[in-house]
Amino acid sequence: MSKLRVAMLISGGGTTATAIQNAVSAGDLLNVEIACVISSNPKAGGIEKLREAGVQNIEVVDSRFYKVDRYHFGAVILYYLKKYKADFVGQYGWLPLTPSNVIEAFEGRIVNQHPGPLRSSHLDFGGKGMHGVRVHAARLSFVRETGRCFFTEATTHEVTTAYDSGKVIHHNRLEIYQDDTPETLQSRLLPVEYQTQIEVLRNRSEGGTNNLNWPIGELVAPEEKGLLDHCKSEAVRLYP
């Protein structure tokens, strides 16, 4: 079986991408090889981390230069994906909205990491501005206000042209503790996020299907939309 050539897209610290590279180096992902890393941020801390971890092919496509010309942004990304012969793309802390030409070229072969629960076509803890510690702040606030579902999830979903709207293909749950803060929840979930993304790559590289551990049931009732919106807006205010 030929190895799955994975391109990893990053924008920040690259901790998940580094965990994946370490898993490849340790032989925990026998059928995976890292084709390249593409960073949307020339100052991303993950660039040096991944070099030190042994990644050879690292490119920067600065998203600030393509705010108007989204198609050209996608064309440059696709150039590198083709150059390094990537056949699967993982977004690991990638912040820009992925251009449609990239999504079309890798339909069914491009996924995104999200640090909170998602439910396709339902109210959830994704969307524009919902990334990093903001997700944890919104989730904590919501479960404490409602008094139910004291858990969060590390999630993998297919990438579409809207933030966090694609089909969820894998997730792992983590209990929320009474004394959790957004920061402690983020710290405790990070290893679960790494493992979730590694499991997705292992499954895909071994010929498994995408429908992994599909989460059932609504997270947020329709009448709770106002509360959800408030929790999200407060999270953005607290963590600008």
The confidence score (pLDDT) of residue 209 equals 63
Domains of the chain: 1-107 (3.40.50.170), 115-154+169-240 (no CATH)
The per-residue DSSP string of 102-116 comes to HHHHTTTSEEEEESS
Element (H, E) at 131: none
Strands 168-175 and 151-158: antiparallel
CA distance 11 to 119: 24
pTM: 0.92
Single-letter amino acid code for the residue at 39: S
Residue with the two structure tokens 């660039």: 47
Contact present, 92 and 71 (Cβ < 8 Å): no
Helices within the chain (DSSP H only): 15-25, 45-53, 70-83, 100-105, 133-146, 182-205, 225-238
Helix (H/G/I), strand (E/B), else coil: 8: strand
Residue 127 and residue 180: Cα distance in Å, rounded? 23
Decide: 128 and 137 in contact? Cβ < 8 Å: no
What whole-number distance in Å separates Cα of residue 54 and Cα of residue 3? Answer: 18
Which residues, listed in sequence order, are joined to residue 112 by a DSSP beta bridge?
91, 157
Residue 150 near residue 157 (C-beta atoms within 8 A): no
* Beta pairing partners, 111: 90, 158
Task: Give, for all 240 residues of the chain, the pLDDT tens digit.
Answer: 699 999 999 999 999 999 999 999 999 999 999 999 999 999 999 999 999 999 999 999 999 898 778 899 999 999 999 999 999 999 999 999 999 999 999 999 999 999 999 998 889 999 999 999 999 999 999 999 999 999 999 999 999 999 999 999 999 999 999 999 999 999 999 999 999 999 999 999 998 765 555 555 679 999 999 999 999 999 999 999
- How much is the pLDDT for 211? 53
Per-residue pLDDT, 105:
98
